[in-house]
Amino acid sequence: MPSEKPILYSYFRSSCSWRVRIALALKGISYDLVPVNLIKDGGQQFSAEFKALNPMQQVPALKIDGITLSQSLAIINYLEETHPNPRLLPQDPKKRAQVRMIADHIVSGIQPLQNLSVLKQMGEKKMEWAQNCIASGFQALEQILQHTAGRYCVGDEVSMADLCLAPQVANAERFKVDMGPYPTITRINKALLELEAFKISHPSRQPDTPAELRA
């Protein structure tokens, strides 16, 4: 039986979905994309149909090899183990730990606090809340990167940390965070956005990107 093409459930603007789109692009895995609009109809992720697919009611979700996975880093780790080239984790365990530390800092320490579902409950304070969460996380990140970075987050190879960095910077820009205090983050982000895999997976170039936001 030929293996079926993976299906990615994605929203153009979801930073967690973008992380997975970058991994799929870097590893040259072709896939079908099913857009899930997190705003329309009160959020299509809450439909009974999507809940049956992913009880967490979030994107991304990836149907692959007969299973459905969710949580962006779990998906990326699965892709890393099943499609090891190009690798997204360095060989040295200490450098791998640095990559994971940076990725987890973004994925657990910054993004969840400025997630759509949290912001909804913040009312008027929404913008200020998001700015504070991101700025506070970026202050720590900037310091860490000064020890770990080469061209990218850890040395000169693109890693899982970079897959988390660019989408988080995009969120920061959306929430008008002053990026002045974060020259290392800004430099790395610029280098990443020059890479083809980051370009084709960009929120401005998705099938569900509204016309007015298209690149």
List interacting residues with a second copy (CB under 8 A).
55-58, 65, 67, 69-75, 77-78, 81-82, 93-94, 96-98, 100-101, 103-105, 107-109, 111-113, 118, 139-140, 143-144
**Secondary structure, 3-state, 109-133:** HHHHHHCHHHHHHHHHHHHHHHHHH
Q: Which is nearer to a second copy, 139 or 204 (CB)?
A: 139
Cα separation, 165 vs 152, in Å, equals: 10
Whether residue 93 is preceded by a cis peptide bond, meaning omega within 30 degrees of 0, is no
Q: Rounded CA gap, 96 and 212, in Å?
A: 40
Toward a second copy, which CB reaches closer, 118 or 135? 118
Residue 149 DSSP symbol: B
Alpha helices in 36-83 (DSSP H): 48-53, 72-82
Shortest reach from residue 162's CB to a second copy, in Å: 15
- 3 state SS of 20: helix
Q: Which three-class secondary structure state does DSSP give residue 61?
A: strand
Rounded least distance, CB 119 to a second copy, Å: 12
C-alpha 132: how far from chain center: 20
Considering the complex, state which of residue 101 and residue 213 has its C-beta at the smaller distance from a second copy. 101
Residue 90 or 205: the one with the smaller Cβ distance to a second copy is: 90
Least Å distance, CB 206 to a second copy, is 23
Q: Which long-range contacts (CB under 8 A, 24 or more apart) does 147-152 make?
A: 148/98, 148/102, 149/184, 149/188, 151/188, 151/191, 152/188, 152/191, 152/192
Least separation in angstroms between residue 39's CB and a second copy is 19
> Minimal distance in Å, beta carbon 204 to a second copy?
25
Closest approach, Cβ 148 to a second copy, in A, equals 10
Burial class (CB in 10 A: 0-12, 13-18, 19+), 30: exposed
Judged by beta carbon, residue 30 or residue 121, the one nearer a second copy is: 121
Q: Which is nearer to a second copy, 142 or 208 (CB)?
A: 142
